[in-house]
């Protein structure tokens, strides 16, 4: 959020920070909210629906404290929650998927034993991130297989030149992949299925908990999982910050 804050400040907005890298020790949440025209929460705004997601601070900030302030609240990916305005639209979600895919490819490349141009890649899921991964993997010369449940998305991915593997045949995709990317945030792989992955093949977990396989089952299956959530802000903070800035500014002009 610091990049977005700096860009907003450059546009003439007064910007204050709390429980992030812009915060000052002397500032209290109540005082800052009393001076604010908007309360801007991160993307995503919460991991549990009760507290604000504050990856740069160990401080716990209750959402109820923000709601009690009476200031319009802007947040990312609110999923229908009342009392807030969502600054995360389709364009931002697409940009986030692109940044996630590019970061994931860099992470996987450092652990792969073959180059992408000689690799078979297996993607679990067919959403925005899966599509961004498939497009980039194909451009690098990889053979790409994808599994998922959304028939419309799978049809589009197939039209790109990917092989669609039914969920019932996931073992085949896992056993033939030189690199595996998961984008599905729900348990769909058990221990026996996970054992189909060849030893040493990078398995990049891009989804949020509970993941496609539990950590315990992954350990039992000796699956080398790299947990890689929140990649845009970690790997490309400027690009991610610009996307947030553009959408916050767009929302503010219409409120």
Q: CA-to-CA distance for 126 and 151, rounded, in angstroms?
A: 9
pLDDT of residue 78: 87
Which letter does DSSP use for residue 163 in this model?
A: E
pLDDT of residue 74: 95
Which segments in the chain show pLDDT lower than 70?
none
Q: Cβ atoms within 10 A of the Cβ of 214, count?
A: 15
Looking only at the bridges linking them, the beta strands covering 143-147 and 120-124 are parallel
Q: CA-to-CA distance for 178 and 122, rounded, in angstroms?
A: 8
pLDDT of residue 128: 97
- Residue 85, H or E segment: strand 85-86
Complete DSSP assignment for 218-249: HHHTT--EEE--SHHHHH-HHHHHHHHHHHHH
Q: Over the stretch 90-114, which tens digit does the pLDDT of each residue have?
A: 999 999 999 999 999 999 999 999 9
Could you tell me which of 45, 77, 86 has the C-alpha nearest to residue 62? 45
pLDDT of residue 111: 96
Q: CA-to-CA distance for 68 and 64, rounded, in angstroms?
A: 6
Cβ proximity of 210 and 186 under 8 Å:
yes
Q: Over the stretch 56-76, which tens digit does the pLDDT of each residue have?
A: 888 899 999 999 988 999 998
Q: Cβ atoms within 10 A of the Cβ of 217, count?
A: 18
Could you tell me which of 126, 104, 79 has the C-alpha nearest to residue 179? 104
Q: What is the pTM (predicted TM-score) of this model?
A: 0.91
pLDDT of residue 23: 80
pLDDT of residue 184: 97
């Amino acid at each position: 959020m610091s990049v977005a804050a700096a860009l907003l400040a450059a546009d003439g907005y007064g910007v204050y920070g709390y429980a992030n890298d812009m915060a000052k020790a002397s500032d209290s949440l109540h005082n800052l909210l009393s001076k604010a025209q908007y309360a801007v929460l991160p993307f995503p705004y919460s991991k549990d629906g009760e507290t604000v997601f504050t990856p740069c601070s160990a401080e716990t900030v209750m959402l109820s404290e923000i709601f009690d302030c009476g200031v319009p609240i802007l947040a990312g990916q609110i999923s229908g929650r009342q009392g807030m305005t969502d600054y995360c639209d389709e364009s931002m979600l697409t940009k986030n998927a692109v940044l996630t895919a590019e970061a994931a490819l860099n992470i996987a490349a450092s652990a792969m034993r073959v180059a992408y141009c000689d690799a078979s890649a297996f993607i679990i899921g067919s959403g925005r991130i899966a599509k961004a991964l498939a497009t980039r993997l194909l451009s690098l010369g990889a053979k790409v297989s994808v599994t998922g449940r959304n028939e419309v998305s799978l049809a589009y991915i197939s039209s790109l030149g990917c092989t669609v593997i039914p969920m019932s045949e996931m073992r085949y995709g896992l056993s033939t992949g030189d690199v595996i990317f998961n984008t599905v945030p729900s348990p769909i792989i058990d221990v026996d299925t996970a054992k189909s992955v060849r030893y040493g093949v990078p398995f990049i977990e891009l989804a949020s908990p509970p993941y496609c396989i539990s950590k315990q089952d992954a350990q039992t299956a000796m699956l080398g999982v790299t947990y890689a959530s929140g990649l845009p802000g970690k790997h490309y903070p400027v690009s991610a910050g610009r996307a947030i800035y553009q959408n916050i500014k767009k929302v503010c002009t219409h409120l």
